[in-house]
Amino acid sequence: MPKYVGPLTIVLMLGMVLARVLLLKAHGVKAMRFGETDKTDFLIPPLALFYFYIVFAAAFGWPTIAHRALFQSNIASWAGALCCVTGLILLLWSLISFGRSFRIGIDADRPDKLITSGIFAYSRNPIYVAFFVILIGEFLIFPNPIPLIAVIAAAILFHRQVLREEEYLQDHYGAEFAEYRARVRRYI
């Protein structure tokens, strides 16, 4: 059973984010700003698609290069499923808390207000925390080298993006962001 939670989590995660982007677009907000700050960001989608395929292949027995499990544990698989569900709940709470300010990438053209309520009162970057929890869950369900590499690579890429976003937020919001940064942790 947990092996089906992995691909379902990916579908729900992508569905939530794309639904938010389309909803904002219908209200005249360009939420998809991905790659506008750094063109190397366009290397991420092909790697993400490869990762998604690996998860689906592991769940449904499709051909894959990732056959070797690093460990076998039913308890770890169920813990992974719990991580995936937890990550989806955090993501949904983040999207609701973000409201109309949600963007994928940095929107220097039409920045919205600084969001400090909802889940953002506990973490400055709850969406990245949600994605990381989901990736940990996927690794626990499918414990082979590719999901492990994805967890490590994502941690590095997420942190890189967070630093870029925080630099922009500090420049744009100044003292308001500095006070928020002093009060609320970066991740958890």
- pLDDT, tens digit, for every residue of 102-134? 998 888 887 788 999 999 999 999 999 999 999
Q: Give the C-alpha separation, 11 to 82, whole Å.
A: 16
pLDDT at 122: 98
d(CA 123, CA 87) in angstroms, rounded, equals: 14
> Given this model, what pLDDT does residue 175 score?
97
Q: What is the pLDDT, as a whole number, of residue 37?
A: 75
Residue 149 counted as domain residue: yes
Are the CB atoms for 62 and 55 separated by under 8 Å?
A: no
Ramachandran category for residue 49: left, alpha or beta (phi over 0 → left; psi -120 to 50 → alpha): alpha
Considering the domain boundaries, does residue 142 fall inside one?
Answer: yes
| Any domain includes 188 | no
Question: Across-strand partners of 104?
Answer: 32
Q: How far apart are CA 146 and CA 166, in angstroms?
A: 30
In the chain, how many H helices and how many E strands? 6, 0
DSSP structure class, residue 115: P
Least confident of 31-35, 69-73, 143-147, 165-169: 31-35
Residue 132: its pLDDT value, please? 98
For residue 71, what is the domain's CATH number? 1.20.120.1630
In a domain, 152, yes or no: yes
Confidence of residue 69 (pLDDT cuts 50, 70, 90): very high
| Domain extent at residue 53 | 2-183
Neighbouring-strand partners of residue 32: 104
What is the arithmetic mean of pLDDT over 8-18?
98
**Average of per-residue pLDDT across 91-102:** 95
Q: How many domains does the chain have?
A: 1
Q: How far is Cα 133 from Cα 127, in angstroms, rounded to an integer?
A: 10
CB burial string 129-157: b at 16+ within 10 A, e below:
bbbbbbbbbbbbbbbbebbbebbeebeeb
Q: What's the pLDDT score for residue 87?
A: 98
Q: Are 152 and 88 in contact (CB under 8 A)?
A: no
Instruction: Tell me the angle at which helices 145-173 and 44-60 cross, rounded to the nearest 10 degrees.
Output: 140
Q: pTM for this structure?
A: 0.95
Token code pair at residue 92:
């949904």
pLDDT given for residue 131 in this prediction: 98
